[in-house]
Structure 1
Amino acid sequence: MENNPEEKESITLPEVRLILIGGRWAGKSSSGNTILRRERFECGQTRTAQSEVRHEIVEGRKLIVVDAPGWKSSLSLTHIPEWNKQQFKLNLSRCPPGPQVFLLVIPIDSAFSVAQKRIVEEHMKLLGEGVWRYTMVLFTCGDYLGGKTIEQHIESEGDALKWLIERCKNRYHVINNKEKSNSSQVTLLLQKIDEIVSDNNGSYYEVDEQTLTIIEKKQREVAERAEKRRRRAEEQRQQMTTLIQGDLCRALGDVQLVVTEKRRSEKMESNLEEKESITLPEVRLILIGGRWAGKSSSGNTILRKERFECGRTRTAQSEVRHEIVEGRKLIVVDAPGWNSSLSLKDIPEGDKQRFKLNPSRCPPGPQVFLLVIPIDSAFSVAQKRIVEEHMKLLGERVWRYTMVLFTCGDYLGGKTIEQHIESEGDALKWLIERCKNSYHVINNKEKSNSSQVTLLLQKIDE
């Protein structure tokens, strides 16, 4: 199909509906812009958090392009949040009555491994076996080919990529998003899409209305439960504020017994307006959780400075940093993350002992443990067990001082954190309840957004 698409007579569609699918950072949004010949999708540092639909008139026909959020190419489907799976299925309804083609975006500049083959296969199964009839591989990073052909690349890559090409009935196309002015690459792509439609007798991928109805019903139920959880969390915060105000009132009353009733009342009102909760002059907190959960990055966001090293290397031993933030001293301990795939019995004894010593790194002791949980992956029953085992090392009382800190806040897209909690299942809900409904979301890609730290400190005060 790559060589001479013009040899085969095909239908010229007045309207083309296509969905861009694939892993994160594969080049889907950029490809959408190249296809539409306009900058309609946002590209760069921010990922596509929810499906976006754009349309343009290209070569005399209407193109409707759906840019679907990418999947994490290192995570099996079992580790993908339930909401994300549902949203992936709902992509089909974004271009009614249904897409004529799925462009499965694969970058040329990285190897297509056996693990990636499995993840692609798992995601395609969510759409049903019939989806392969309408799928074409769209290779991005065409400039990386250099002097070789795409066929040479396919043959040199191994069985995983060859399997994918065969699964798509040898349908593929190469695009170079750095040469958007090269209109011929889009013209050729549209010819190949015409051929796919012709091969499928003019049909499109039909959306299973029953499946969509079930998903939409589930999401409505989740939204209702999420709103109840949000209200409950707000009520708990208000109750705590009321208790603190009551304590303050009593304290002020004791101190000012010698003052006249009028002056005492005026003074109390003045103090209550200025201070509704305890503001700690020093906050001592410990970041705990699995490896690569975003603890070090969260520490930097909280301290509003790059004090912990982030990137390729993991935190090997506890590190303590402190800064003055909003007029008070913050002491942050970044503890080494545990292996989320290993039960406690498989953890070296030395690691267990070091984990127990973390509270001693901020004497006289931490006021809060921030249990870091990334939003971009599912919180499974196995992870629940591993969290529970590690918390037992610190003793039952540790839960009184623990708050869940959700990282990867940008992955929420259009949903609330409460919708994420309610859609994830019993394991995550158990964790939130264990922490007495105490949680906070942070987006470490928006370190300049100081309000997220201000709100976190308010919750710690409470």
Structure 2
Amino acid sequence: MAGYNGHGEFGLVILLLGPKLSGKSSVGNAILGRQAFGNDTMCSSKTTGFTFGKQVTVVDTPGWRLFVPSSEHVPQELQRALSLCGPQLDVVLLVHSVLTRLGPVQWDAMESQLRRLSIRVWEKAIVLFTHADCLGKLTIEEHIRREGRALQSLLGRCGNRYHVLHGNHRHGTPQTDVQQLHAKMQWIREASRSPGLNGSVLGNQEQIEMRRWANPSQYYNPPQCYDVEDGGTNLRLGQRQWSLAGISSRQSISKSPLSIVLLGRRKSGKSSVGNSILAQKKFKTDTKTSRSTAGQGLVSGAFVTVVDTPGWSFYGLAKSEKVLTEISQSYSLCSTGSKCVFLLVIPIDSFKEKDLAKVEKYVSVLGNNIWRKMLVLFTFGDELKDKSIEEHVTKQGQDLQWLMQKCGHRHHVIETSVRDSNQLEQLMEKIQEM
């Protein structure tokens, strides 16, 4: 049986799909770490090996033609590929070269092949970008924006799950690219098998919406919703998905997914807090945050999404309507099915009536119940010197005291100049307890 490793469990089963010259077979070889498939695939074939200590079965298929109709041989081989996968198909890698523009003709060619398959492709699919070295200095998110609606809609169908492979036939694919792809594929497999990782159901009880993934080097802002006709069901796929890039497959998941939304005025240290939580530089700190963005990582055994939002200002330096809009949309960047917590980031300095008025104005767009999910995070705690945070709150007066009461007196202090992992561990413990 496909994928069985002889030790009582099944390995990862991967199906490669894509047009001719997309690099499918090379992808299979990179995953397996050896030359298992040739360059001109005419028939579907299966090869099993071990990758990062895990058994992997890769099924390669003939590519369809983009500019002329493919022969009936291709759909027949795609159906045969499904039989090679057996009942244990875990991941579909939809291989797309960055050198090929996805226009109406190419879309129709893809649709004509995929609609014949007897499986629901999209729930298991990752769009795998190949030949990424040809982008030069252009990032993948810039490429996706330039390509336009067709490519963005394809990503929407796949739950915005994608990965990028660099390298070429002479230099090969970097091991880190393959390791990150392997981690993403393992996550899809576990999400489909573990009730604790499942997202919302789309279309029927078997379709699972994958956790959103994104990271700064592989992130773009798709239209908020895609109307996608899939098996007669109109699906609204408007949320971004998890990215496990940079997460080793050896790291373990022991806690439920968590989402943290950062709120606060400009220069409060929000972006730095997000970077500290994720232990990675996910957010820019040298320029102002102009739109809500998300970063992900594995923190203390949990997949954590951190959403950074634009800060508000007192002097018209930030357009209030745009900030309100971005904050109101921040919740859509949170991980589906995760616990969502809001951190109100306040520097240790003066907090008066005007500060409270701004907080109420911008936080109110998230609803009346938001305060129950809010923790006040004081930054630049070094400025307290020998004072306790309680003494500081008392000295600041009724405005800050009212805010603390509104948030259930949930608070934490971070000393910005001190790199102490304990203060972040304590913060995560408080968040998990909320």
Q: Which has the higher helix share?
A: 1
Please classify the TM superposition score into its range, dividing by the shorter chain length. 0.3 to 0.5
Higher relative contact order (CA 8 A, sep 6+): 1
Structure 1 length-normalised TM: 0.38
Structure 2 length-normalised TM: 0.40
